[in-house]
């Protein structure tokens, strides 16, 4: 053990504890020694302090009888864990609390250091705030306990007492614009997430995305509060539109534009993969369709049609981007039709031309009606059962292309208004971008924390991470 009397060290401690005006008096003794802490030997820096009365305070008065009290020694030292700026060497304060006895009834009391440590606790408020700051990160509980030189149970205790995820006072208002989505977090179950579409603050996280749980959650908000909601942005989940119409009578439902474009491009890629598998790997059509797929996802007007350049997988012959597009689309007529449909939908979405989208859906309805008539004739001619649900049941010439199959999702009675609203300019500022960012944070939090046993603890970590 090494005793070091250093006023510089004492001044440093007063600065980091910020206790110059608090009822704590530090001694000029600093010890660097090995102590036992949570069953482990830790080499740490130990300071000695005691509680005193502030100069402006009078003598304490007995809380029981109201008579004056006199000083009656000190308590045994309390080992207070303190978070210093030097994380490589833990810091402890051996704090002795002054005791006072009543002159009349002999009742005793302790002088607490309320700005340094909570009553009946052994970890300083600064260490507690440091743990809270670490809980807003993506570290696991074990890693937070290691960095704060404390136990996992205390970190969990700080988390539980930090925030109440089911505080009823939050059911007093709702933002005007909200967005909803789901994410798989615990036990491969989809968790429902709802947030403010403008600020990105979380409104609620539910352990399940079934309709009963969603209805019970939003019915906690009064009807007048729910009537203030103006827009709700969502993906094309089959159950969400009917639930939201039941709960929010005056809100406009909007389909997220990102999901609409993603569905169309997935249909285009489905057909593109089917086409390039017909060719040998040495053919130029195979290489263009497989390796230069990003050309098919761009706007046709943005493709370069003037500058020739060599492509890594196509040998020494130079091509423009537009020439590569023509090589790919010439492989299959249906692929060209699908590409043109995707380009038309993206163009209408960029121009916010909902009338053009309505026209395209009406044209799809005509194509669908003609296809149903042809399928019925084919079934009657071949003596087979007529069914409309299975696309692969019919020969290839009577099958819907992938984009028309996505259009059938758009034409559902529950989805039609959502899709049309996504193409209106008045709703162009509302997307699911905020909630998709939250989903990304949630997945990283779950991955780095190695999962959560209790949903409530996961919910608290999410709220601390997002809403802080």
199 DSSP assignment:
T
Q: Which pLDDT score is estimated for 443? A: 80
> What predicted TM-score, i.e. pTM, was given to this entire model?
0.73
- Enumerate the β-bridge partners of residue 26: 49
| Cα–Cα distance measured from residue 160 to residue 166, given in angstroms and rounded to the nearest whole number | 12
Q: What SS3 class is residue 193?
A: strand
| Cα–Cα distance measured from residue 229 to residue 214, given in angstroms and rounded to the nearest whole number | 16
Q: For each successive 10 residues of the chain (468 residues), what is the average pLDDT?
A: 41 50 70 71 80 68 81 82 68 84 84 74 79 86 83 87 71 90 71 88 85 90 92 90 92 91 89 90 91 90 86 86 91 89 90 90 84 81 66 72 79 86 91 87 77 78 81
Helix and strand numbers (H, E) in the chain are 17, 13
Q: Which pLDDT score is estimated for 165? A: 73
Closest CA to 445 of 185, 245, 203: 185
Q: Which pLDDT score is estimated for 19? A: 47
Distances (CA, A) of 443 to 63, 184, 449: 53, 8, 10
In the block, residue with structure tokens 């699908």: 338
Structure tokens, 432:
């699911």
122 DSSP assignment:
-
Structure tokens, 372:
């149903």
305 DSSP assignment:
S
Q: Which pLDDT score is estimated for 394? A: 72
In the block, residue with structure tokens 């440590």: 117
Q: Which pLDDT score is estimated for 14? A: 54
Q: Which pLDDT score is estimated for 100? A: 86
Q: Which pLDDT score is estimated for 1? A: 38
């Amino acid at each position: 053990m090494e005793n070091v009397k250093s006023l510089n060290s004492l001044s440093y401690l007063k600065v980091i504890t910020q206790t110059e005006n608090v009822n704590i008096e530090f001694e000029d003794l600093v010890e660097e020694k090995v102590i036992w802490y949570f069953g482990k030997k830790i080499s740490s820096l130990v300071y000695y302090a005691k509680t005193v009365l502030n100069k402006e305070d009078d003598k304490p008065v007995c809380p029981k009888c109201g008579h004056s009290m006199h000083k009656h020694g000190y308590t045994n030292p309390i080992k207070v864990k303190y978070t210093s700026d030097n994380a490589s060497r833990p810091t402890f304060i051996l704090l002795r609390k002054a005791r006072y006895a009543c002159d009349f009834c002999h009742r005793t009391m302790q002088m607490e250091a309320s700005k340094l440590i909570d009553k009946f606790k052994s970890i300083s408020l600064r260490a507690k705030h440091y743990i809270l700051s670490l809980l807003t990160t993506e570290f696991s509980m074990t890693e937070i306990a290691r960095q704060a030189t404390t136990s996992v149970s205390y970190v969990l205790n700080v988390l539980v007492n930090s925030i109440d995820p089911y505080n009823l006072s939050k059911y007093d208002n709702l933002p005007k614009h909200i967005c909803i989505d789901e994410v798989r977090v615990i036990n491969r179950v989809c968790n429902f997430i709802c947030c403010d579409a403008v600020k990105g603050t979380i409104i609620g996280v539910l352990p399940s995305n079934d309709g009963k749980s969603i209805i019970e959650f939003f019915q906690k908000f009064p009807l007048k509060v729910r009537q203030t909601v103006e827009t709700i942005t969502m993906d094309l989940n089959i159950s969400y539109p009917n639930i939201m119409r039941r709960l929010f009578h005056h809100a406009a439902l909007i389909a997220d534009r990102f999901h609409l474009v993603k569905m169309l491009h997935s249909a285009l890629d489905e057909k593109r993969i089917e086409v390039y598998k017909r060719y040998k790997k040495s053919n130029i059509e195979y290489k263009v369709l497989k390796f230069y797929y990003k050309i098919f996802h761009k706007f046709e007007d943005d493709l370069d049609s003037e500058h020739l350049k060599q492509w890594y997988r196509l040998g020494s012959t130079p091509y423009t981007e537009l020439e590569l597009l023509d090589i790919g689309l010439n492989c299959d007529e249906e692929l060209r039709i699908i590409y043109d449909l995707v380009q038309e939908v993206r163009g209408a979405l960029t121009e916010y031309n909902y009338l053009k989208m309505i026209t395209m859906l009406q044209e799809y309805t005509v194509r669908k009606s003609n296809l149903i008539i042809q399928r019925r004739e084919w079934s009657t001619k071949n003596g087979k059962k007529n069914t409309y649900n299975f696309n692969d049941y019919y020969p290839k010439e009577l099958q819907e292309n992938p984009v028309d199959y996505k259009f059938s999702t758009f034409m559902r009675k529950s989805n039609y208004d959502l899709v049309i609203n996504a193409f209106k300019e008045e709703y162009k500022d509302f997307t699911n971008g905020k909630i998709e960012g939250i989903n990304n944070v949630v997945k990283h939090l779950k991955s780095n924390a190695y999962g959560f046993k209790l949903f409530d603890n996961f919910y608290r970590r999410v709220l601390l991470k997002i809403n802080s």
